[in-house]
Structure 1
Amino acid sequence: MKVQNDIISSFKSSFPITAGQKQHSVGIVLVFTISMFLFSHNTIANPVKWHPGHYCTILGLGKNDPKYMSQVYNELKATPALRGIQIRYFWAELETAKGEYDFTSIDQRLAELAAIGKRLVIQVQTKSFIPKGKPTGKLVPDYLKANEYDGGEFAYSSHGSTELRGYNIALWNSHVQDRLVELFRVMGERYNSHPYFEGIGMIETAYGEPIVSQPGNLRVKFYDNLISVHQKMRSYFPNTMTIQEVNYPHSILASFVGRLKEIGTALSGPDVFKDEPGLNRNMRNAPRGIYHFYPELSGIIPLAPQVMHKNYMNTRNDGAGSVPTVAEIFAFARDNLKSNYIFWTRNPKYYSKVLELLNEPDIAKDPFGGLSSICPKAYMSCVD
């Protein structure tokens, strides 16, 4: 009985009920409670905010620029199929010193979006990329640079090169893991119950090639700890979608995605490349590429791929494919990847074509923009 009471209290506190709805809501809560015990142990026993459809991923420097954001909001208001935006924040932007957090930017964007009925998805970036000739933001808080945290991050290059490509976090270190978990705990307390805070996720699984050689067991610990972080995230965001971008390495995909399925974490990816060999790989006696996992998980966990800058330019990362139309990108994400959410990077050269597509009559009249809106089996229930 205590468990049932706790569930009912959690449901009521997460989604308040007005006096006029009280009698009807009692029945809903009773059905909700009884239903919980009919589901398997890995079903998330909380109603989860669920607003699938199309979202715009804004460029990093624009998120705190009033002029830039004003244009974004005008686009949102003029495009019903756009349900909200995704914003990326480096860990260092959110935790400015140990245990000291700055969520000013998130709070402001969330209030502005709520005022126009649109929603916010956050990605906490724990990996950075350094474009040639351009600076990148600081990845981790300065206190993580201490020996206790193995320096907090490591430099990596692309395979076959020693040129610096960016930094990834030292997640094999249990102290780094603990600090990342604490960040998500604090954010969960602040944002889980907010009706317009739609989701929170993490960047791609690709490790990078360490410039300084590492023992092989560090990678194993890295991915084990990443799964542990997601287990905690789901407990801190019981009413909110949590997301993980997955692309490489091939060797971990089956087991790693299997764990995401158990946890109820949404599967995302940093690219929609319909002809990319590594993502589509399906060879005998070799691990499959990540794209083959999407249709198998349709209706089980949320599926939420990202359309990045390069995806507008070619169907392959190396440029050896063809130049896709926005409609072709959309069709692949919808039909092959069975997407519930698509995050479209707001690349100024191509984004007008995205808006044209989303304002086509058949898409504009559908609240979900032509994407699957079925509540995933991993969730006990979905709340609009």
Structure 2
Amino acid sequence: MRAPSPGRSLAGILRAIGLATLALLSISTFPVISFAQEAPRNFLFLGGDDPEDHAALLQREDIEGAQVVYNWRGLEPSEGEYDFAAIERDLATLEAFDRELFVQLQDRFFLPQARWLPDYLLEEEIYAGGLARQADTAGEGPDGSGWVAMQWQPALRARFQALLDALAERFDGRIAGINLPETSTDLDLDNPPPGFSCDSYFAATMENLAHARQAFAASPVVQYVNFWPCEWDNDHDYMGRIFAMAEERQIGLGGPDIVPHRRAQEKNSYPFFNAYRERLPLVAMAVQQPTLTYIDPQTGEPFTRAAITAYAQDHLGVDVIFWTIEAPWLQENGSQ
């Protein structure tokens, strides 16, 4: 295991400085927090896996930490009662390996049976059912392909922000960062869920992001932004406005997929990542398992690690890449 290198661990630096110093900073100043460097840092994307199960990969010299997904239900089993044991366990495991933890807080799910919100949000009338069904975009059948929390409902959004506050109180300065899930969702816009509108969805996302940034004074906050419901090619200026806000308030941005030159992304988030590549404090993006299926038109083969990294660094300004453990170069004999 390598010895810690000076300046490598943001969380370690912040602990050394002490949170008392951070308290002297005015929230309105939004201090710059950056991973800025020449090449992206490599983290593992573990989904909901236990980091201990991937100890060998985590101790590779070229891996600096892990991103783990935590769903809302697992963190708040009952109203206002929080259970952060899973995060504490994963953080302890990674610290034992001299690695860092990036938390992904999940409020949307991609299987019909995945309804992972606390029961009170699903049952109490004030929350209007808690979840909205995502459309059947992948042929899963009449029950749809998953669910998304109805963040556009003010009462539910208030509970999400309370969760953010509780997470910040426990983990700010201890974790490498926290990211909110992607902006994309597949709602049936012809039959929208209660209270939904394109603008209310956008406004709720922006409000939650601003709240997260205020709650976390030390650990970076990243919003995954890829597509917006109702928007294409920034025709509502949703994409333009979230990037402008991220620059102003020093919020990180990212996304679930790095796919070089893919048209859909090039008509949505990618041009903004390129334009803002020197202006955001942190850009963190993932290479998840579906990304591995895309074909490089120049070679007729799946994109290599080198091709993905070059595009991420040179075109998108990525500082951190979260790699699926299935990436060939992470396999025992993989080199690409």
Q: TM-score range by the shorter chain?
A: 0.7 to 0.9
Q: Which of structures 1 and 2 has the bigger CA Rg?
A: 1
Tell me which residue corresponds to 2:57: 75
Tell me which residue corresponds to 2:210: 231
Using the TM superposition, name which of 216-225 and 180-189 deviates more. 216-225
Query: 1:16 offset after TM fit, Å?
Result: 4.5
Is the partner of 1:100 in helix, strand or coil?
A: coil
Return the letter of the residue paired with 2:157: Q
Number of matched pairs? 303
Is the partner of 1:88 in helix, strand or coil?
A: strand
Tell me which residue corresponds to 2:252: 266
Tell me which residue corresponds to 2:6: none
Tell me which residue corresponds to 1:84: 65
Query: 1:300 offset after TM fit, Å?
Result: 2.0
2: CA distance between counterparts of 1:243 and 1:17?
Answer: 22
Q: 1:171-210 deviations in whole A, cap 9, x for unaligned?
A: 111111100000010000000032xx10001111012123
2: CA distance between counterparts of 1:309 and 1:342?
Answer: 13
Q: TM-score w.r.t. structure 2 length?
A: 0.80
Return the letter of the residue paired with 2:187: E
Task: Note the 1:41-80 alignment, pairs <5 A.
Answer: 43-45=29-31, 53-60=41-48, 62-63=49-50, 69-77=51-59, 79-80=60-61
2: CA distance between counterparts of 1:50 and 1:180?
Answer: 30
Query: 1:42 offset after TM fit, Å?
Result: 6.7
Bigger RCO (CA 8 Å, 6+ sep)? 1
Task: Note the 1:236-251 alignment, pairs <5 A.
Answer: 236-249=215-228, 250=232, 251=236
Tell me which residue corresponds to 1:141: 118
The answer to whether residue 129 in structure 2 is matched with residue 151 in structure 1 is yes
Match for 2:105 among 117, 124, 129?
124
1: CA distance between counterparts of 2:195 and 2:158?
Answer: 22
Answer whether contact 1:303 1:341 (CA < 8 A) is retained: yes
Match for 2:151 among 158, 171, 180?
171
The answer to whether residue 311 in structure 2 is matched with residue 311 in structure 1 is no
2: CA distance between counterparts of 1:160 and 1:190?
Answer: 38
The answer to whether residue 164 in structure 2 is matched with residue 180 in structure 1 is no
Question: Please, what is the CA RMSD of the aligned residues?
Answer: 3.1
2: CA distance between counterparts of 1:311 and 1:87?
Answer: 18
**Pair 1:183–1:142, CA change in 2 (3 A):** same
1: CA distance between counterparts of 2:308 and 2:210?
Answer: 32
1: CA distance between counterparts of 2:33 and 2:269?
Answer: 28
Q: TM-score w.r.t. structure 1 length?
A: 0.71
Answer whether contact 2:161 2:211 (CA < 8 A) is retained: yes
1: CA distance between counterparts of 2:79 and 2:216?
Answer: 22
5+ residue gaps in structure 2? 1-12
2: CA distance between counterparts of 1:355 and 1:304?
Answer: 24
Query: 1:260 offset after TM fit, Å?
Result: 2.3
Answer whether contact 2:35 2:319 (CA < 8 A) is retained: no
Q: 1:15-54 deviations in whole A, cap 9, x for unaligned?
A: 4559xxxxxxxxxx8xxx9xx89xxx97523767889611
**Pair 1:74–1:259, CA change in 2 (3 A):** same
**Pair 1:87–1:71, CA change in 2 (3 A):** same
1: CA distance between counterparts of 2:63 and 2:332?
Answer: 14
2: CA distance between counterparts of 1:70 and 1:16?
Answer: 26
1: CA distance between counterparts of 2:328 and 2:109?
Answer: 23
Answer whether contact 2:222 2:254 (CA < 8 A) is retained: yes
Q: 1:247-283 deviations in whole A, cap 9, x for unaligned?
A: 11234211222222222221111111114211012xx
Q: Which of the two has greater helix per residue?
A: 1
Match for 2:183 among 189, 205, 224?
205
Answer whether contact 2:172 2:219 (CA < 8 A) is retained: yes
